Homo-oligomer: A and B are copies of this chain.
Amino acid sequence: MALNVSADVADHLAGRAALIANDRGMRRENASAKARSTKEVEADRILREIRTKEAETIWREDHPDIKHPLPGMEFLTGKSIILKTRVFEILSKMPKGALLHAHLDAMVNTRFLLELSLKYPFIHVRVLEPLTADNLETNLPVFRALPASEFTEHSSLTDASYPVGAWVPLANARRGFAPELGGEEGFDKWFIDALTINPTQAYDTHNTVEKIWLKFVSTFATSTGLIRVEPIWRAYIKEFFLSSIADGISYIEVRINFLFKFMFGADGQENIPHRDWVRIFGEVVQDVKEEMKKQGREHVFLGAKIIYSTIKSLTPEGLDWYTEDCIALKKEFPDLIIGFDLVGPENTLKPIIYYLEPLLHFRERQKEEGVDIPFIFHAGETLGDGTEADLNLYDAILLGTKRIGHGYSLIKHPKLVDICRERGIAVEVCPISNEILRLTSSMLMHPLPALLNNGVPVALCSDDPAVFGNMGLTFDFFQVFVASEVNGLSTLGALARDSIEFSMLSPEEKNKLLTVFEKQWEEFVDYVLTYTE
Contacts and interface: CB of A to CB of B under 8 A. Distances in A.
B485 A387 contact: yes
A2 interface: yes
Interface string A5-30: 10011001101100110110010000
Interface in A402-422: 411-416
A364 B22 CA distance: 28
A140 to B, nearest CB: 23
Nearest to A442: B383
A483 interface: yes
Given A5-B361, A207-B67, A487-B385, A12 B398 contact: yes
A1 interface: yes
A310 to B, nearest CB: 19
B386 A5 contact: no
A148 to B, nearest CB: 48
A45 interface: no
A435 to B, nearest CB: 11
Interface in A7-66: 8-9, 12-13, 15-16, 19-20, 22-23, 26
Given A2-B361, A484-B385, A15 B398 contact: yes
Interface in A439-458: 439-442, 444-445, 447, 449-450, 453-454
Contacts of A22: 415
Given A398-B15, A444-B383, A485-B386, A412 B453 contact: yes
A485 B384 CA distance: 8
Interface residues of A, number: 63
A356 interface: yes
Interface in A464-503: 483-487
Contacts of A390: 485
A21 to B, nearest CB: 10
B68 A208 contact: yes
B398 A453 contact: no
A114 to B, nearest CB: 32
Contacts of A447: 411, 447, 450
Contacts of A439: 445
Nearest to A73: B208
A8 B68 CA distance: 53
Nearest to A21: B415
A384 B72 CA distance: 11
Contacts of A391: 20
A356 B13 CA distance: 9
Contacts of A211: 68
Interface in A57-97: 67-68, 70
A357 interface: yes
Contacts of A2: 361, 364
Contacts of A453: 412-414
Given A1-B357, A449-B385, A485-B385, A413 B207 contact: no
B414 A23 contact: yes
Contacts of A445: 383, 439-441, 445
Nearest to A367: B4
Contact of A398 (B19, B70, B204, B363): B19
B383 A416 contact: no
B207 A385 contact: no
B395 A16 contact: yes
A246 interface: no
B412 A8 contact: no
User: Which of A12, A207, A414, A415 has most chain B Cβ within 10 Å?
Assistant: A414
Contacts of A398: 12, 15-16, 19
A394 interface: yes
B68 A385 contact: no
A441 B208 CA distance: 11
Interface of A: 1-2, 4-5, 8-9, 12-13, 15-16, 19-20, 22-23, 26, 67-68, 70, 204, 207-208, 211, 353, 356-357, 360-361, 363-364, 383-387, 390-391, 394-395, 397-399, 411-416, 439-442, 444-445, 447, 449-450, 453-454, 483-487
5 contacts: A5-B361, A16-B395, A68-B207, A411-B411, A445-B445
Given A2-B361, A20-B391, A384-B444, 19 more contacts: A12-B356, A12-B360, A12-B398, A20-B394, A23-B414, A68-B207, A383-B442, A385-B483, A385-B484, A385-B486, A385-B487, A387-B485, A411-B450, A413-B453, A439-B445, A440-B441, A440-B445, A441-B445, A450-B450
**Shortest 5 CB-CB distances between A and B: which pairs?**
A386-B485, A386-B486, A385-B484, A383-B444, A23-B415
